[in-house]
A and B are shown apart, each in its own frame.
Chain A
Amino acid sequence: MKPTKTLLTAAALATAAGAVSAEEMTIVSWGGAYSKSQLKAYHEPYSEKSGITILNDDSSAEAVAKLRAMNEAGNITWDVVDVVAADAIRLCDEGLAMEIDPDTMLAPAPDGTSAADDFGDLLVSDCFIPQIVYSTTFGYRTDLVGDTPPSDVCAVFDLETYPGKRSLEKRAINNMEWALICDGVAKDDVYDVLATPEGQDQALAKLGTIKDNVVWWSAGADTPQLLADGEIIMGSTYNGRLFSVIEEQKQPVAMLWDAQIFDLDGWIIPAGLSEERQQRALDYIMFATDTQRLADQAKYISYGPARASSAPLVGQHADLGIDMAPHMPTDPENAKNTFLYNYEFWADYRDDIEAKFQAWLAQ
């Protein structure tokens, strides 16, 4: 008796909820300030234009696992997914993401340049639609580093001059490169060395010198929180997070622009959507990745737009009114000593090195 009644109530509630928003799509992203910038720059204008309600699901961190599970279960609930390029490559390789034809599915630049040329080298996978370029770099507490603020990335490994905890991401990618660079390997040789088991051991040995002083983070919010607490002296995170800590939250933190790892983030559309949902997803993508929209996003967060044609349109921060260009990872001043992330290498070696790294971490 009772269950039936409640089920009926639930049915009434749910249909009521369903009736209001007949057309909706689920967009998966990273949450926090980043999702907010997408909300302002893409979702809100798109909903206004098309009448489609957009649901946010902040699950990008588990995107690969969940897409694989959804694919296996034949129940894909996501329409558009924001992932880093490495994940996009993986999803594309496994047939979990739909292949995109930039010339027909993406908007050309205002001056008529085709989307393929406008994005250029950033189209690193057949399934990937680049959205922003970002850097993973280090922020440090200005009040804890004394009179000699660090100027290069190897300060992370220098426990003498900068005693205290540092935070690193709980995965091999990026950490292995920094370890090798600071162990005397030339930047251009890093991936060659890392391809060999000896090179991997070398990187782990270098990381081992600071292992006891590392707080390992896995969520984007961790390093900013740890920095704000003064729990760590320096830590790696995305440059947009650091911008927010420094400029918006006014914390005593500064950032390094040295050997920062230059990476991409963008959209994929899951493979296996129904025709109707796929059309809707493509329509959204066409809208959200045009030149103006990408430039708009930079008003809310300090990530560079992935289109060459968007760069001149980058203006000022929406609330703070400061110029955003000098805070972009693409700014020439910041990009002097960038380290380029090698997608093909990590696509090939990710499983190998990650397994080794995690075993090392658990020892």
Chain B
Amino acid sequence: MTDASQNAGPMLAADGTPLKQSLARSLRRQKLRALMLVAPLLLFVMFSFIVPIASMLFRSVENSMVSDTLPLTVEALQSWDSQSGELPDEAVYDAFVRDMVVAIDNKEHTRLGSRLNYEETGMSSLFRKSGRKLKKLDPETDGPFKEQLIEIHEGWGKPNTWAVIKTHSPAVTNGYFLNAVDMRRTPEGAQSQPEDKQILIKLFGRTLFMSLVITGACILLAYPVSYLLATLPMRVSNLLMILVLLPFWTSLLVRTSAWKVMLQQQGVINETLVWLGLVADDARLVIINNQIGTITAMTHILLPFMILPMYSVMQTIPPTYTRAAKSMGATNWTTFWRIYFPQSIPGIGAGSILVFILSIGYYITPEIVGGTKGVFISNRIAYHISSSLNWGLAAALGTILLGVVMLLYWVYDKIVGIDNVKLG
């Protein structure tokens, strides 16, 4: 063989081209075909999902509002040293009044006040109150303004007010990310939030902890059931499968309200326990509006997502292996632990990652059964999006959450491989 190839030069394919070249071409064609198959979906997802999400997340650093609304003031503040402890000079006040008159006309000053209020409580009322009086000033004739402004609201006589404006004037900011980890942007650099505003790190921790508990509970409950389903004869297991699929098919909202009916103080569980006399009427279990409520309801809601992948993996484990182990004298426990369990790990992995990722981003169920103690970081994101309208902070929180999930995804891919995820 070696002789022949040496003698005849490069090996040739049927059409006379060198084999190497021909193979390379066919490989290229294969690659191209594979890419062609993936391309439509990839483009679709990139275009209609990745781009919108990226632009949403970009809001976490975007901060053009201050410099857009108060362009002259921001420029005038450049020369002022915010740490001097002194008030800026008349030029700044003059620029500010000019900016404000325009902003009030465009109805932008209250939004700016809300924006700055995220950083320093009190800014919103300062802008709104002053806005009504500033409206009447004419920047050309009514100056100088320093005294007048301080007269209008004492807030303008505090260096801190101007420092806040200056600190948050750059068009790109890390302020929202600092806020997201209970810090804040100050003239002296990043600092911790005051004690009473430090809640987000705790919420992140709670979200991770509760998601882990939920995932753990799902593993514990799903394993025996999946094992049973995988070992029973098909006709029985398919019927039992209905019991798993039924909750899965039932609307999430219905299941959540079902848990509300179950868990309330006057709910089904408590009523039954009281009726049976296991619990005194005045000592009913508190199992809703706290972490227990969230964990119970979410374990139930996410359990099918654990059972289905586990079941499909366990179905492929040949029963002959365990029988072989037993025939060679292994005890029940050894057979399970050394033979069966290792083969079922991909199912556990797939289910866990699915349940964990889904639970970390949930917010409707915790909102309804979680009270104030059992809510997740997603509830905070939802609050900032629909109530406080602090979209920058919501985006920053979302970015961090996404980062955590991506990290997990990467770790999972390294350990188990994403191909091994099976869903029924």
- Pairing of A with B: yes
**B-binding residues in A (CB < 8 A):** 62, 64-66, 68, 90, 93-95, 165, 171, 215-216, 218, 229-231, 347-352, 354-356, 358-363
Q: Which residue of chain A lies nearest to B390 when distances are taken between CB atoms in the complex?
A: A355
The answer on a CB contact under 8 Å between A68 and B106 is no
What distance in Å separates the Cβ of B104 from its nearest Cβ neighbour in chain A? Answer: 10
Please measure, in the bound complex, the distance between the C-alpha atom of A49 and the C-alpha atom of B239, giving whole angstroms. 56
Q: Which of A62, A230, A231, A359 contacts B196 (CB 8 A)?
A: A359
B129 touches A352 (CB 8 A): no
Q: Which of A93, A355, A360 contacts B388 (CB under 8 A)?
A: A355
- Separation of A144 and B107 alpha carbons in the complex (Å): 50
Of A93, A230, A347, A355, the residue contacting B107 (CB under 8 A) is A93
B124 pairs with A360, CB closer than 8 A: no
Q: Most B CB atoms within 10 A — which of A62, A93, A218, A350?
A: A93
Candidates B108, B121, B266, B386; contact of A355 at CB < 8 Å: B121
User: A65 near B385 (CB under 8 angstroms)?
Assistant: yes
Please give, as numbers and ranges, the residues of chain B lying within 8 Å of A62 by CB-CB distance.
Answer: 386
Q: Is the CB of B372 within 8 A of A352?
A: no
Interface residues of B in 66-119 (CB under 8 A from A): 106-108, 110-111, 113-114, 117-118
Q: In the complex, which residue of chain B has the Cβ closest to the Cβ of A63?
A: B386
Q: Is the CB of B121 within 8 A of A352?
A: yes
A65, B386: Cβ atoms closer than 8 Å: yes
Q: Are A351 and B265 in contact, with the CB atoms below 8 A?
A: no
Contact of B125 among A216, A349, A358 (CB under 8 A): A349
CA distance A347 to B110 in the complex (A): 10
Cross-chain contact B121 with A361 (CB below 8 angstroms): no
A358 to B197, CA, bound (A): 9
| B266 & A64 in contact (Cβ 8 Å cutoff) | no
Q: Chain A's nearest CB lies how many Å from the CB of B290?
A: 11
**B199 beta carbon closer than 8 Å to chain A:** yes
Q: How large is the interface on B (under 10, 10 to 19, 20 to 34, 35 or more residues)?
A: 35 or more
Decide if B289 is an interface residue (CB 8 Å cutoff). Answer: yes
- The residue on A at minimum CB distance from B128 is A348
How far apart are the CA atoms of A33 and B85 in the complex, in Å? Answer: 57
B114 CB contact (under 8 Å) in A65, A351, A361: A351
Contact B113 A359 (CB under 8 A): no
A215 and B289 within 8 A (CB):
yes
> In the complex, which residues of chain A have a beta carbon less than 8 angstroms from the beta carbon of B386?
62, 65-66
Interface residues of B in 302-340 (CB under 8 A from A): none
By beta carbon, the residue of chain A nearest B124 is: A351
A sample of 27 inter-chain contacts (CB < 8 A) reads: A64-B389, A66-B386, A93-B107, A93-B110, A93-B128, A94-B107, A94-B110, A94-B111, A95-B106, A165-B265, A231-B264, A231-B265, A348-B124, A349-B125, A351-B117, A351-B124, A352-B121, A352-B125, A354-B387, A356-B121, A356-B196, A358-B388, A359-B196, A361-B372, A362-B380, A363-B196, A363-B199
A362→B203 contact, CB < 8 A: yes
Neighbouring B residues of A229 by C-beta, 8 Å: 264, 266-267
Q: Is the CB of A68 within 8 A of B389?
A: yes
B385 CB contacts on chain A under 8 angstroms: 65
Query: Which residues of chain B are within 8 angstroms of A231 by Cβ–Cβ distance?
Result: 264-266
Question: What B residues does A171 contact at CB under 8 A?
Answer: 387
Scoring B residues 357 to 380 as 1 if CB is less than 8 Å from chain A, else 0, what string do you get?
000000000010001100000001
State A351–B383 Cα separation when bound (angstroms): 13
A362 touches B266 (CB 8 A): no
A68 CA to B267 CA, complexed, in Å: 40
- Minimum CB–CB distance from B166 to chain A (whole Å) comes to 21
A230 B266 Cβ-Cβ under 8 A:
yes
With the chains together, A358 CA to B389 CA distance in Å? 13
Q: Closest Cβ of chain B: how far from A215's Cβ, in Å?
A: 6
B117 and A352 within 8 A (CB): yes
Query: Are B372 and A216 touching (Cβ within 8 A)?
Result: yes
Contacting residues, chain B, for A355 (C-beta < 8 A): 117-118, 121, 388
Complex: A93 Cα to B109 Cα, angstroms: 9
Determine whether B122 belongs to the interface, using a CB cutoff of 8 Å to chain A. yes
Q: How far is the CB of B265 from chain A (nearest CB, A)?
A: 5
- Do B124 and A350 have beta carbons less than 8 Å apart? yes
Of chain A, the residue at the smallest CB distance from B386 is A65
Using Cβ atoms and an 8 Å threshold, which residues of chain A touch B264? 229, 231
> Chain A residues with Cβ under 8 A from B388's Cβ?
351, 354-355, 358
A361 to B289, CA, bound (A): 13
In the complex, which residues of chain A have a beta carbon less than 8 angstroms from the beta carbon of B114? Answer: 351
> What residues of A have a CB within 8 angstroms of the CB of B372 in the complex?
216, 361-362
Question: Chain A residues near B289 (CB, 8 Å)?
Answer: 215
Which residues of B sit under 8 angstroms from A363, Cβ to Cβ?
A: 196, 199
With both beta carbons as reference points, the residue of chain A lying nearest to B197 in the complex is identified as A359
Assembled-state Cα–Cα distance A216/B289 (Å): 9
Quick check: A359 and B199 within 8 Å, CB to CB?
yes
**How many Å from the CB of A290 to the closest CB on chain B?**
30
What's the Cα separation between A230 and B128 when bound, in Å? 43
Q: Determine which of B123, B196, B367, B371 lies in contact with A215 in the assembled complex, contact meaning CB atoms within 8 Å.
A: B371
Task: List the B side residues contacting A351 at CB < 8 Å.
Answer: 113-114, 117, 124-125, 388
Pair B266/A358 contact, Cβ less than 8 Å: no
Interface residues of B in 238-295 (CB under 8 A from A): 264-267, 289
Task: Tell me the smallest distance from the CB of A30 to a CB of chain B, in Å.
Answer: 15
Which B residues are CB-close (under 8 A) to A362?
199, 203, 372, 380
CA distance A62 to B389 in the complex (A): 10
With both chains docked as a complex, state the minimum distance between the C-beta of A301 and any C-beta of chain B, in angstroms: 25
**Contacts A215-B371, A361-B372 known; A352 to B124 CB distance under 8 Å?**
yes
With A94-B110, A363-B199 as contacts: A348 and B125 at CB distance below 8 Å: yes
Q: In the complex the two chains form, what is the Cα distance from A64 to B386 in whole Å? A: 8
**Cα–Cα, bound, A350→B127 (Å):** 12
Q: Which of the residues A68, A347, A358, A361 comes within 8 Å of B128, measured between beta carbons?
A: A347
Closest to B114 in A: A351
CB–CB A360/B371 < 8 A: no
Contact residues in B for A215 (Cβ distance below 8 Å) = 289, 371
5 cross-chain pairs, A with B, having the tightest CB-CB distances, nearest first:
A95-B107, A351-B124, A348-B125, A93-B110, A351-B117
Q: Closest CB of chain A to B3's CB: distance in Å? A: 54
Given contacts A64-B389, A229-B266, contact A352 B122 (CB under 8 A): yes
Measured CA separation A95–B267 after assembly (Å): 47
Closest CB in chain B relative to A97 CB, distance in Å: 10
Q: A230 to chain B: which residues have CB within 8 Å?
A: 266
Chain B contacts for A165, CB-based, 8 A = 265
**In whole angstroms, how far apart are the Cα atoms of A216 and B387 in the complex?**
15
Complex: chain B residue closest to A68, CB-CB: B389
Contacts of A348 in B (CB 8 A): 124-125, 128-129
Q: Which of B113-144 contact A (CB under 8 A)?
A: 113-114, 117-118, 121-125, 128-129
Query: Which chain A positions have C-beta within 8 A of B367?
Result: 218
Q: For the complex, give the distance between the alpha carbons of A359 and B123 in Å.
A: 17
Q: Which residues of chain A come closer than 8 Å to B129, judged between CB atoms?
A: 348
User: Chain B residues with Cβ under 8 A from A361's Cβ?
Assistant: 372
